[in-house]
Amino acid sequence: MSLLSLPDIAGMLVLMSVLGWFRKRHRDERVDAWLLALTFILVEMIASSIMHGAKWVPVLTKVLSLDSYLLAAVTFGWAARRDLLPGTSHLPQFLVPAVSLLVLTTLFGLNLVVVRVFMAVIGASVVLGLVYLLFGIRTRKRLRSLLVLIHLTMWLPMLYFSIQGRLLEVVYWGLACLYVLVAFSFRRRARAETIGPWVIMVSFIIWAMCFLAYPLEQGHWMREGLIEQVWNIQKFFVVIGMLLVLLEDETQRRLDEAMHDSLTGLPNRRLFEDRLVQAFERSRRTGLSAGLFAIDLDGFKAVNDTLGHQTGDMVLKRVAERLKRKVRGTDTVARLGGDEFIVVVNDLARADQCQKIAAALRTTIEGVAVPGTLGLRIGGSVGYAIFPEDAMEASALFEIADSRMYDEKKFEPGVEVGR
């Protein structure tokens, strides 16, 4: 084993330990897949160190080096898909070619470099991949065309290299394409306000460039110097990007907790006030009104006192869920505390629409059954105020909506437990 590689191996172990600590402390399932992928990278680093330190290259270490790179890419791509689509267990479509590529890397690592075998595997992959993309999946025409283009871009150069007998280029072109695809699997996570996904994407693209540069003339100074250093450094950039992603997610989670009600998941007063300001600005811009609806549950105190707070919490969750389903995506439902909810509805063309909306919200609440009772349902009182017709300030709108809501309570008493 080359002693020069020991600091890199030690550094990778330290970063993997940090990820493992984070996994144990925060129970983040993504880290399991990342640790598995980094384990493959660690195996590759050890295998490469053995190859550089030995006078002859053991076949097993060469196979481990190439296959570990490929398996790491597959695992990273799978982890990226699970991150975007929680609960997803199957591999993304762009990693299907990894099966054929694994055959090629294994054959090359075992020094079974038979040109006709490589041509047969690649030719079969081209044909079967096209059949699958054209007839085996249901997707939009534009996306299907893009997938076919990606497929041909990956496999046709490999077919050309195999015909020329340049099997080293075959293997490393395939790995480079796979790492570019994995890089872009993080694109949906990359946003202007984040840096972690961008670091991961750039690291994988640099990694792919290293694969493309590897088949350069053996002994070239770039091969022995610059490329070798870049190859090792970007591995650590990938891990740093992952740590940044975890830190950003933790920060966002804490921010969400500070801005949302812990029981129902609805926006709390702090976030709702910000949404209300946005509604005012939208109203001024469009010339349409915004409606503020104050909601109070009828008979809820009796539910809490008679059936317990656990039942009361279940009622609040059911009310919140029904209200969320009732309003549009441009509107906002919030819980102010206790059994008080509030809704802001944008883009009202007429003031009389508020009466219809209030009736719809009332009906929505009355459909909520109280758990542990025989058909008992909760009731609700709804009051509203209109911006800018009723008032121009948030506090005044709240007072008007509350006043109308309590006026309604006087004439429509709530449901009592046992009635």
Active site residues: 339
Total Cβ atoms within 10 A of residue 60? 12
Report the C-alpha dihedral over residues 200, 204, 207, 211, rounded to 10 degrees. 170
The sheet with strand 340-348 has its strands ordered as 332-337, 340-348, 289-298, 379-387
- Angstrom distance (rounded) from CA 57 to CA 76: 28
- Angstrom distance (rounded) from CA 86 to CA 326: 26
All residues at 6 or more sequence positions from 180 whose CB lies less than 8 Å from its CB, including other chains: 204, 205, 208
Of 171, 139, 135, the closest CA to residue 154 belongs to 171
Tell me the C-alpha to C-alpha distance, in Å, between residue 204 and each of 9, 75, 77, 179, 236: 19, 13, 11, 6, 11
Tell me the C-alpha to C-alpha distance, in Å, between residue 181 and each of 188, 233, 355, 393: 13, 20, 53, 52
Residues shown for the chain: 419
Phi, psi of 381 (to 5 degrees): -115, 140
Is residue 8 within 8 Å of 232, Cβ to Cβ?
yes
All residues at 6 or more sequence positions from 418 whose CB lies less than 8 Å from its CB, including other chains: 306
Reduced to 3 states, what is the DSSP secondary structure of residue 352?
coil
Total Cβ atoms within 10 A of residue 146? 13
Reduced to 3 states, what is the DSSP secondary structure of residue 305?
helix
Phi, psi of 139 (to 5 degrees): -160, 175
Angle at 250 between CA 245 and CA 251, to 5 degrees: 100
What are 308's two structure tokens?
A: 């317990």
